[in-house]
Amino acid sequence: MTSQSNLYKFNDIYDKTHLDLLKYVIIKCHNVSDTNDIIQETYLELWNIINKKKLNNNNIKSYLISIANNKIKKHYTLLQKIRTISIYEKNDKDMELIDLLEDKINIENFVIQKDNWLTIWKYIKSKKNQDIPKVFYLYYVLELSIKEISKELKKSESYIKNLIYRTLKELQEKFGKGGYS
């Protein structure tokens, strides 16, 4: 098999698996900013495997996930892992209050005037608690429900709601004008 046909094979796998791998890496990584690097390293490894003709086609998605898992493990030193375990300041009163809110928190209720959402996303990614960008990706891009996100991240629904509510409020204060409407 030439490298040209290997590339067609690679492209086909990439197209079919990229979104699933992206979701997996975002959920599992310690810092969402590392996502693209880990994805690239994973597919490079796949490319090497394809070229060595050692690819088992049976369950390529699971295979890629296992490569990604190894890449994630290698990507972080133990010290980094410890450092990136973050504790969101919990306010029990808030948690109870948020539990009363509807599951669907509407971002449109926040008046964010600055029309540079890339900056806002960069700000969300820079949060010490990396559950925040993960939740935002799952909630606003993949449009998963709070319940689904809580299952994916193995956290309580209250915690997820709290993250979204508090972060939106913070975004409103930092980037918006006129306060929460």
Site residues (vs other proteins, CB under 8 A):
2-4, 6-7, 14, 18-19, 22, 26, 35-36, 39-40, 43-44, 47, 107-108, 110, 112, 115, 117-118, 120-121, 125, 136-137, 140-141
Q: Which is nearer to other proteins, 35 or 150 (CB)?
A: 35
**Minimum distance, C-beta of residue 98 to other proteins, in the bound complex (Å):** 19
Nearer to other proteins, 100 or 118 (CB): 118
Residues 30 and 80 sit within 8 Å (Cβ to Cβ):
yes
Instruction: Give the burial class of 129: count Cβ atoms within 10 A of its Cβ; 0-12 exposed, 13-18 middle, 19 or more buried.
Output: middle
Give the DSSP H/E element, type plus range, for residue 25.
Answer: helix 3-28
Minimum distance of other proteins from residue 146's CB (angstroms):
15
How far does CA 1 lie from the centroid of its chain?
36
Q: Interhelix angle for 157-175 vs 92-99, to 10°?
A: 100
Least distance from other proteins to the Cβ atom of residue 151, Å: 21
